[in-house]
């Protein structure tokens, strides 16, 4: 008896399985998983949808789909995420890079000249995704990624090595206790900015698989941002750029903290038209 399935049968059964488990965007996740296992482009899956799938591949697909049904994030199952055209290794050691942050990084690139030659400090570097993206096409720029999580720094170091970057360095740093011994031309950060109440309302993928230290801050989510602003006041060079990703509704409190020491304070919206990024220059 033939117990092999065609591609379209596997797509349909897996999608139904994920629907039953309440997984958001089930079909899309199924396509990513099948494309990952079979090493075929997503588009090609539908050109070959009547082909029988090799048993070995079908077993691997089933195992990935079961993991996804347990709400393990797709990015952890695939082990990689594409961020601004670059592969980034992705696992439980650090936050999964988000599309908003990809857009934030694009805005930072626009703000800096393409031939920018200074040092960029990325506070709370996580997987290293922001600093890698900023430095990958510009070997004249030096990147420093700092984080208080050793797990995150280990992951960032694997990502830097994967891209053979010699212009990006990492350092363990806790903005609550440590201090800098030098000044920087650019400080960027996507810090934790959720209140604990907001964190409780996130999807299981976020609550159970992203490190809580990467997401939650005291003082209604503003505590870490305020710490970073304090460091930036002391350690940005004159006219230096501060770029922050921020949470919903936090804009006014942050601008209040910044206005004495910064000029050109600019709020930028994300692709859903929400005010999510602040850029400013140090006086």
Ligand X SMILES: C[S@@+](CC[C@H](N)C(=O)[O-])C[C@H]1O[C@@H](n2cnc3c(N)ncnc32)[C@H](O)[C@@H]1O
In the complex, least distance from residue 104 CB atom to ligand X, rounded to whole angstroms: 8
x/- mask, ligand X, residues 142-161, rule CB under 6 A, reads -----xxx--x---------
Strands 236-245 and 275-282: antiparallel
Residue 65: count of CB within 10 angstroms of its CB:
24
| 266: helix, strand or coil | strand
In the complex, least distance from residue 196 CB atom to ligand X, rounded to whole angstroms: 14
According to DSSP, the residues that pair with 147 across neighbouring strands are 172
Which span (59-67, 187-195, 200-208, 250-258) binds ligand X, by CB under 6 A?
187-195
Q: How far is residue 280's CA from residue 53's CA, in Å, rounded to a whole number?
A: 54
Q: Which is nearer to ligand X, 170 or 214 (CB)?
A: 214
Q: Which is nearer to ligand X, 205 or 224 (CB)?
A: 224
Binding residue for ligand X, selected from 94, 134, 144, 229, defined by CB under 6 A: 94
Residue 214 near ligand X by CB under 6 A: yes
Q: Which is nearer to ligand X, 19 or 150 (CB)?
A: 150
Element (H, E) at 58: helix 55-69
Residue 130 near ligand X by CB under 6 A: yes
Q: Which is nearer to ligand X, 176 or 272 (CB)?
A: 176
x/- mask, ligand X, residues 248-267, rule CB under 6 A, reads --------------------
Q: Which is nearer to ligand X, 37 or 215 (CB)?
A: 215
Q: Which is nearer to ligand X, 14 or 127 (CB)?
A: 127
Which span (6-14, 37-45, 52-60, 92-100) binds ligand X, by CB under 6 A?
92-100
Concatenating the DSSP letter of every residue in 137-191 gives T-TTSEEEEEES-HHHHHHHHHHHHHTT-SSEEEEE--TTT---SS-EEEEEE--
Quote the crossing angle between the two packed helices 26-38 and 7-20, to the nearest 10°: 140
In the complex, least distance from residue 169 CB atom to ligand X, rounded to whole angstroms: 15
Q: Which is nearer to ligand X, 31 or 122 (CB)?
A: 122
x/- mask, ligand X, residues 3-32, rule CB under 6 A, reads ------------------------------
What is the chain's Cα-based Rg?
21
Q: Which is nearer to ligand X, 103 or 116 (CB)?
A: 103
Q: How far is residue 105's CA from residue 176's CA, in Å, rounded to a whole number?
A: 25
Say if residues 69 and 189 touch (Cβ distance below 8 Å).
Answer: no
Burial of residue 40 (number of CB atoms within 10 Å: 0-12, 13-18, 19+): middle
| 244: helix, strand or coil | strand
Residue 216 near ligand X by CB under 6 A: no
Binding residues vs ligand X (CB under 6 A)? 94-95, 97, 101, 124-127, 129-130, 147-149, 152, 173-176, 190-192, 213-214, 224
């Amino acid at each position: 008896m033939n117990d092999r399935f065609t591609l379209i049968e596997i797509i349909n059964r897996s999608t139904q399985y994920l629907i039953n488990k309440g997984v958001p965007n089930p079909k899309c996740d199924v396509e990513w998983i099948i494309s990952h296992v079979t090493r075929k482009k997503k588009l090609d899956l539908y050109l070959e949808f009547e082909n029988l799938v090799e048993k070995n591949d079908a077993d691997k697909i089933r195992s990935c789909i079961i993991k996804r049904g347990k709400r393990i994030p797709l990015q952890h199952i695939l082990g990689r995420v594409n961020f601004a055209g670059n592969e980034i290794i992705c696992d439980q050691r650090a936050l999964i890079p988000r599309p908003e942050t990809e857009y934030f990084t694009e805005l930072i690139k626009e703000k800096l000249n393409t031939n920018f030659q200074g040092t960029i400090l990325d506070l709370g570097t996580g997987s290293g995704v922001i600093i890698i993206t900023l430095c990958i096409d510009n070997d004249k720029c030096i990147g420093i990624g700092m984080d208080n999580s050793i797990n995150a720094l280990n992951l960032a170091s694997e990502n830097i090595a994967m891209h053979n970057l010699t212009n990006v360095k990492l350092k363990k740093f806790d903005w609550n206790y440590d201090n800098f011994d030098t000044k920087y031309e650019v400080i960027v950060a996507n810090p934790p900015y959720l209140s604990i109440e907001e964190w409780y309302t996130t999807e299981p993928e976020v609550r159970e698989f992203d490190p809580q230290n990467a997401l939650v801050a005291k003082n209604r989510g503003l505590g870490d941002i305020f710490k970073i602003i304090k460091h930036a006041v002391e350690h940005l060079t004159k006219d230096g750029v501060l770029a922050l990703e921020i949470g919903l509704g936090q804009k006014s409190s942050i601008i209040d903290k910044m206005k004495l020491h910064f000029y050109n304070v600019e709020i930028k919206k994300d692709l859903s038209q929400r005010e999510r990024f602040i850029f400013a220059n140090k006086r």
